[in-house]
Chain A
Amino acid sequence: MNKRMFISAAAILLLAAAPFLFSLFYLNLLAEILILAIFALSLNVLVGYTGLVSLGHAAFFGIGAYASALLSKEWSPQFLVTMLASLLIAAIAAAIIGLFCVRVNGFYFLMLTLAFSQMIYSFVHQSTTLTGGSNGLSGLPSPVFGTLDLSHPVFLYYVILLVFIVMYIVLSLMVKSPFGHVLIGIRENEMRMKAIGYNTTLYKYAAFIIAGAIGGVSGALYSTFNGFVSPNDVYWTMSGSVLIMVLIGGAGTMIGPVLGAAFIVVLETIVSSYTTMWTLIIGGVFILFVVFIPQGIVGFGRALTKPSANRLSFSRKAKALVKKEANQ
């Protein structure tokens, strides 16, 4: 446990020191990773812990992004205000959509979430007066925190880092809480949880709202960070990308989605300097992961570092034991 605390402290220190270590390009890359990591973490509540695979999580990302953009444009660029309002609006949207989605399981859940996100996409795409249609909204005012202007990338980076740490801690606590354990129980065997007496639908509903709300926060951060929103943020490719991040990183772990987000963003940055076929690359990489490394980066890393966990090393251990006995 101490080792884990040490690693977390070191990671936070390193992230906090990043503006002094990296150039602006890498700092912005890091900020994008952190934002998408929050997004992936929010989806992980559903996919990893509750066992509900959503293919429409970009709906909440987009709602958060547009809510924050519209609020900062029309009302107030106060960072805290836009963040909290986006969180609230995304939570309300999740409460409405979740009402329908949590009634169904498996593929039906996947289809319904996809359908709802496309519905929101078509609204955003068509409603030119409110959302700017296919052009999106640009020229968003730079955020302010109290009287502090956050237009400087380093300030913005620290704010994003702070939100990321808060969200990570909140979700870690939630996962370890009795509530989180019920969610894991639903993932493992919903029927049994029902039999014990849990109202699993209610728990799934709560998980859906939490995931939606935090997804909204990440979307709000994203539009604040970029200074614009476009309908692409709500499109199915965004839902797909974040699902891929969670699964490649390792669903059902806290660090997995963060690593997945980092992996995808870094890969995209590298690939995009060579080719425009990004969708092809991400699809191919994803297929390879699903077939060969289904536990994701975290599971793969664990299998490497803790040899006792896998069968191969078990046989190695057994061989050693046999040798030992033979020597005696």
Chain B
Amino acid sequence: MDVIAAQLVNGVSYGMLLFVITCGLSLVFGILGVLNLAHGSLYMIGAYVAYTMTSQWFENFWLALIVAPLVVAVLSLAIELILLRPTYHLGHLSQVLLTFGLAYVIHDVTSMIWGSDVLSIPLPPPLSETLHLWNQDFPAYRLFVVAAGVVLAFCLWFVQEKTRWGAIIRAGLSDKEMINALGVNIKLVFTAVFLAGGYLAGVGGVIASPILGLYPSMEFQTLILALVVLVVGGLGSIAGTFVASLVVGIVETFGRFLVPELSLFLVFGLMVVILICKPDGLLGKQVVRH
């Protein structure tokens, strides 16, 4: 029983990690209609920048958690302005291919800067302890990840549902032309959302790095898990992404615990089942047919 509880906590924390990573992707996909295949790359840059900050500049994880995502956000602002904004007329598919080309470029640039060794960020001091709860030892950092995921989910929900910006974003999600006609600068919204998506990718990178480590090709492993979450949760729904992250996290963790060789297959199998039973995802809206 205790073992199951421990695995459950691990699963939930892993799920929240997935949520932090995926929510930016989901947001960008929902509003811009562009599946950002460079999202994993932005995540990776966040992790590597945090690594440089904690190991060379200042040894403070929390400062890195604030600064590194901002660096990624500035980078994604540049990407939006230089690469995506002039190419909206090419259509979504071409833009997805652009982000794919970008993922290639970033892959080499990061390995040029940080090398191809496996790196890791030590756990920040107050959270490197273990907490003793219900006769079980829990790594405090995992509980922090859970808290971070819940707080982030709440913030996203609050912004989307309760603020003017959120209203614009929701309106943009359902009808871009109309919101444009109503006098909202939709291009500005796109830029802001892409910036936010990059910021969230950076946050995900920093939070995940003490657990998952840093290595070349980490971006695509992450991207693929994020895509699974996106498909399971459904398009453009933060709530769907949240639920899907939890489900995928728990399935993956229990899978790794019970049948180590098959854990990845379980996750993909889950995705396949969802796609067959509910093609629009757990909580997704009607998929916009291409």
Contacts and interface: CB of A to CB of B under 8 A. Distances in A.
Interface of A: 53, 55, 100, 103-108, 110-112, 114-116, 118-119, 122-123, 126, 236, 240, 243-244, 247, 277-280, 282-284, 286-287, 290-291, 294
Contact of B108 (A103, A105, A118, A277): A277
Given A111-B231, A284-B101, 12 more contacts: A103-B276, A107-B290, A110-B35, A119-B265, A279-B105, A283-B101, A283-B102, A284-B105, A286-B104, A287-B102, A290-B101, A291-B86
Contact of B109 (A107, A243, A247, A280): A280
B97 interface: yes
B287 interface: yes
A142 to B, nearest CB: 33
B83 A287 contact: yes
A111 B227 contact: yes
B93 A53 contact: yes
A236 B94 CA distance: 19
B21 to A, nearest CB: 15
Contacts of A108: 231, 275, 287
B33 to A, nearest CB: 9
B224 interface: yes
Contacts, number: 105
A286 B94 contact: no
Contact of B104 (A55, A115, A126, A280): A280
B75 interface: no
Nearest to A100: B272
Given A277-B108, A286-B97, A115 B268 contact: yes
A104 B276 CA distance: 10
Contact of B98 (A111, A114, A291): A291
A106 B95 CA distance: 13
B101 to A, nearest CB: 4
Contact of A279 (B90, B97, B104): B104
A114 B96 CA distance: 14
Contact of A287 (B35, B92, B101, B108): B101
A286 B37 CA distance: 14
B153 interface: no
A204 B272 CA distance: 18
Please list the 6 inter-chain residue pairs (A to B) with the smallest Cβ-Cβ separation, ordered nearest first: A106-B290, A283-B104, A280-B108, A283-B105, A287-B101, A286-B101
Contacts of A126: 261
The DSSP consensus for interface residues of chain B is helix
B103 interface: yes
Interface of B: 29, 35, 83, 86-87, 90, 92-94, 96-98, 100-105, 107-109, 112, 220, 224, 227-228, 230-231, 261, 264-265, 268, 271-272, 275-276, 279, 287-290
Counting chain A CB atoms within 10 Å of each CB, which of B35, B101, B102, B261 scores highest? B101
B103 A294 contact: no
Given A111-B35, A111-B230, A114-B224, A100 B276 contact: yes
A291 B102 CA distance: 12
Given A100-B275, A284-B105, A114 B290 contact: no
A169 to B, nearest CB: 30
Contacts of B98: 287, 290-291
A123 B268 CA distance: 12
Contacts of A119: 264-265, 268
Greatest chain A CB density within 10 A among B112, B227, B231 is at B227
16 contacts: A53-B93, A100-B276, A104-B275, A106-B288, A106-B289, A114-B224, A115-B224, A115-B268, A116-B268, A118-B220, A119-B268, A279-B108, A283-B104, A283-B107, A284-B101, A291-B98
Contacts of B94: 290, 294
Contacts of B289: 105-106
A244 B101 CA distance: 9
A229 B94 CA distance: 32
B96 A107 contact: yes
A174 to B, nearest CB: 24
A284 B268 CA distance: 31
Contacts of B227: 111, 114-115
Interface centre among B87, B100, B104, B290 (most CB of A within 10 A): B104
Contact of A240 (B83, B100, B108, B230): B100
Interface centre among B98, B102, B105, B220 (most CB of A within 10 A): B105
A24 to B, nearest CB: 31
